[in-house]
């Protein structure tokens, strides 16, 4: 009997071992599949990963990435950005021009554009859409995007019911032209217009916004076909589309996946053409699993550690101390080992690919130098209590790098450092909003629009809504205000670069690294899938191989 039992074990082990080796062999085969071979099928259908969008598909209601991914295909806005450089590209707009002090903008539309139901896209389609979306009683999560426009306060008061249903700053000149008057000068206003919220809406929308959210009608490169909840969203090429980004494939099937693991196993077996992000467990081996089909792309987002300036510990801290802490973090090693190359060390407050990003804006501050770090902290009077903690949410994969950062700080400076784990993102946000962070917290920022102001004013302005650390610096505030009022975009960008140097001295946050997309594509896709700066593929440019 003993013998029989051990034989069983051996057999079991053999099965597992065989399976494991078979796996290695099979995968390298699929990896060598040449993705540039073959010709494109203009009507080929692409399949892509998606989780269930949280909200109905209304352009101003997609705060999360999933709904936004679909909306971006169905709607075409006034402008878009050139991938890589972030330069403005006109889509539905013929021109967007400011007056002298950038407080009144004139938008001219390309005539003859149609919604998918045949209705013509006019200036009114835009103005009505914005007025509706900005209205507080329509509960659109992105309504604050309209706050630059004059009269926003009337449709979106801080408290109570709206006083008007139209913003006074929006004026239709004729079918193809309208004017936007702003509360104050914003030299980069045209750049904001690339976001989903600024999409036009057909008249049918206002009759039944809710029903429209289930069956959206847009003006974009793809038209909406069906939404089978939690299973599939189908969009197909719109033949009447006149924009520069015409679809090079026949359409997209967005398939629902509950976990990254599930999606990953489908991309390995070529059941799916694109996944959002490989699961953390596969980060070490996805490149050997997928071969050339692996995607490794940087996008414009930054992660940092932020001191809570309202705590006793950091209230009157000498910035030298934070600089010292920053220099005690070995970014190169951590991104390579703990994060498996899925991030690149940050060298500025502004993410790469954004207009105004300056390579090496932070130099010393982000260079690992334990001796200097120690000296700086000592010079600055040391860390009160000689101990810091980094708050993070445990429902995402933050613990490994938080531990690594802490280790690095502890080893280099002798300052004790521990992770302060909150069970989930909600609890983490709660502590940040209520100013209950004990010492430092994890911060992150993905671009809204590719101008450096987005990475500074919205985070470190003393009155910015995104400023949850209590940081305030008058010099920075006045520079930012000056930059917003500047006559040209170049000037604005330059002034913000100056402002970044103020931040470099003050260290309101310790930038750690820029994000990367680690993803994969199937062997049915021709060539590499191109990416935009927001970390999402440019689906219209993806080509499907002819079968």
Partner 1 sequence: MGRYVARRLLQMIPVFIGTTLIIFLMVHVLPGDPIRAMWGDKAADPAQVASLRHEFGLDQPLWRQYIDYMVNLFQGDFGKTFGGRPVSEEMGMAFPVTLRLAAVALTIEIIVGIGLGAWAGLKAGRAVDTGVLIFTLIVISMPVFVLGYLARFIFADELGWLPPNVQNSMDVEQLLLPGFVLAMLSMAYVARLTRTTFAENLRADYMRTALAKGLPRRRIIGVHLLRNSLIPVITFLGTDVGALVGGAVVTEGIFNVQGVGNLLFNALGRREGSTIVGVVTVFVLVILLINLVVDLLYAVLDPRIRYA
What residues are paired with 303 via a beta bridge? 444, 513
Instruction: Name which position in 53, 151, 200, 450 contacts partner 1 (CB under 8 A).
Output: 53
Is 258 among the residues that bind partner 1 (CB under 8 A)?
A: yes
Q: Segment near partner 1 (CB under 8 A), from 91-99, 263-271, 292-300, 376-384?
A: 263-271
- Rounded to the nearest whole angstrom, what is the least distance from the CB of residue 14 to partner 1 in the complex? 13
Q: Within 10 Å of residue 239's Cβ, how many Cβ atoms?
A: 8
User: What mask, x for binding partner 1 by CB under 8 A, covers residues 2 to 21?
Assistant: --xx--x------x---x--
User: Which parts of 387-446 interact with partner 1 (CB under 8 A)?
Assistant: 395, 422, 424-431, 433, 443-446
As a whole number of Å, the CA-based R_g of the chain is 25
Q: What are the two backbone dihedrals, phi and then psi, of residue 144, each rounded to the nearest 5 degrees?
A: -70, -10
- Rounded to the nearest whole angstrom, what is the least distance from the CB of residue 287 to partner 1 in the complex? 18
Instruction: Give the whole-angstrom CA distance, residue 364 versus residue 529.
Output: 36
| Of 66, 98, 61, 93, the residue nearest 79 (C-alpha) | 93
Q: Segment near partner 1 (CB under 8 A), from 48-56, 122-130, 240-248, 520-528?
A: 48-56
User: Which parts of 270-309 interact with partner 1 (CB under 8 A)?
Assistant: 271
Is 42 among the residues that bind partner 1 (CB under 8 A)?
A: no
Instruction: Give the whole-angstrom CA distance, residue 309 versus residue 319.
Output: 11
- Residues making up the chain, counted from first to last: 547
Is 224 among the residues that bind partner 1 (CB under 8 A)?
A: no
- Rounded to the nearest whole angstrom, what is the least distance from the CB of residue 119 to partner 1 in the complex? 25
Is 262 among the residues that bind partner 1 (CB under 8 A)?
A: yes
Instruction: Give the whole-angstrom CA distance, residue 480 versus residue 41.
Output: 49
* Residue closer to partner 1 (CB basis): 182 or 412: 182
* Residue closer to partner 1 (CB basis): 97 or 426: 426
Size of the site for partner 1 (CB under 8 A): 65
Q: Is the Cβ–Cβ distance between 27 and 530 less than 8 Å? A: no
What residues are paired with 421 via a beta bridge? 392
Extract the runs of DSSP E, i.e. beta strands, from 352-501: 387-393, 416-422, 440-446
Q: Which two tokens stand for residue 293?
A: 């089909």
Is 465 among the residues that bind partner 1 (CB under 8 A)?
A: yes
Instruction: Give the whole-angstrom CA distance, residue 124 versus residue 177.
Output: 9
Instruction: Give the whole-angstrom CA distance, residue 534 versus residue 303.
Output: 14
* Residue closer to partner 1 (CB basis): 268 or 352: 268
Instruction: Give the whole-angstrom CA distance, residue 156 versus residue 136.
Output: 5
**What is the per-residue DSSP string for 260-299?**
HHHHHHHHHTTS-SB-S---GGGTTTHHHHHGGGEEEEEE
Q: Segment near partner 1 (CB under 8 A), from 56-64, 199-207, 363-371, 506-514?
A: 56-64
* Residue closer to partner 1 (CB basis): 184 or 430: 430
- Rounded to the nearest whole angstrom, what is the least distance from the CB of residue 395 to partner 1 in the complex? 7
Give me the residues that bind partner 1 (CB under 8 A), please: 1, 4-5, 8, 15, 19, 22-23, 52-56, 63-64, 136-137, 139-141, 143-144, 156-159, 210, 213, 229-231, 255-259, 261-262, 265-266, 268-269, 271, 395, 422, 424-431, 433, 443-446, 448, 458, 464-468
């Amino acid at each position: 009997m003993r013998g029989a039992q051990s034989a069983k074990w051996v057999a079991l082990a053999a099965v597992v071992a065989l399976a494991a080796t078979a796996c290695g062999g099979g995968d390298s085969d699929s990896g060598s599949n040449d993705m540039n071979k073959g010709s494109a099928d203009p009507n080929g259908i692409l399949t892509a990963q998606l989780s269930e969008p949280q909200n109905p598909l209304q352009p101003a209601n997609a705060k999360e990435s999933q709904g936004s991914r679909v909306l971006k295909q169905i709607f075409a806005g006034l402008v878009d950005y050139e991938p890589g450089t972030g330069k403005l590209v006109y889509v539905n707009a013929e021109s967007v021009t400011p007056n002298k002090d950038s407080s009144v903008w004139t938008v001219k539309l390309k005539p003859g554009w149609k919604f998918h139901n045949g209705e013509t896209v006019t200036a009114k389609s835009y103005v009505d859409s914005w007025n509706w979306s900005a209205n507080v009683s329509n509960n659109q999560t992105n309504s604050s995007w309209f706050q630059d426009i004059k009269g926003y306060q009337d449709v979106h008061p801080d408290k109570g019911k709206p006083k008007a249903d139209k913003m006074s700053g929006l004026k239709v000149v004729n079918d193809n032209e309208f004017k936007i008057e702003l509360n104050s000068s914003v030299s980069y206003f045209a750049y904001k217009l690339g976001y989903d919220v600024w999409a036009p809406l057909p008249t049918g929308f206002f009759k039944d916004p809710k029903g429209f959210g289930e069956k959206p009608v847009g003006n974009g490169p793809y038209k909406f076909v069906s939404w089978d909840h939690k299973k599939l969203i189908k969009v197909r090429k719109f033949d009447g589309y006149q924009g520069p980004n015409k679809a090079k494939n026949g359409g997209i099937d967005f398939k629902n996946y509950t976990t990254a693991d599930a999606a990953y196993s489908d991309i390995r077996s070529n059941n799916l053409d694109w996944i959002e992000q490989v699961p953390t467990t596969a980060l070490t081996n996805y490149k050997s699993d997928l071969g050339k089909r692996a995607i490794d792309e940087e996008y414009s987002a930054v992660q940092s550690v932020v001191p809570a300036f309202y705590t006793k510990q950091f209230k009157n801290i000498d910035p030298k101390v934070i600089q010292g802490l920053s220099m005690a973090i070995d970014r190169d090693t951590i991104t390579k080992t703990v994060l498996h190359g899925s991030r690149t060390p940050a060298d500025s407050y502004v993410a790469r690919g954004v207009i105004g990003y300056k390579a090496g804006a932070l130099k010393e501050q982000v260079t690992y130098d334990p001796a200097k770090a120690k000296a700086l902290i000592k010079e600055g009077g040391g860390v009160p209590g000689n101990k810091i903690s980094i708050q993070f949410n445990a429902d995402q994969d933050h613990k490994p790098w938080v531990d690594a950062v802490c280790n690095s700080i502890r080893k280099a400076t002798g300052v004790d450092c521990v992770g302060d784990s909150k069970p989930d993102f909600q609890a983490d946000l709660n502590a940040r909003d209520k100013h209950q962070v004990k010492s430092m917290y994890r911060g992150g920022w993905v671009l809204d629009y590719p101008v450096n102001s987005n990475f500074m004013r919205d985070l470190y302005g003393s009155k910015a809504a995104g400023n949850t650390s209590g940081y305030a610096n008058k010099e920075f505030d006045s520079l930012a205000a000056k930059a917003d009022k500047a006559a040209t975009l170049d000037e604005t960008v330059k002034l913000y670069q100056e402002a970044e140097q103020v931040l470099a001295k003050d260290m309101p946050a310790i930038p750690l690294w820029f994000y990367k997309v680690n993803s994969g594509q199937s062997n049915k896709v021709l060539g590499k899938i191109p990416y935009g700066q927001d970390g999402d593929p440019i689906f219209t440019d993806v080509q499907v191989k002819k079968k």
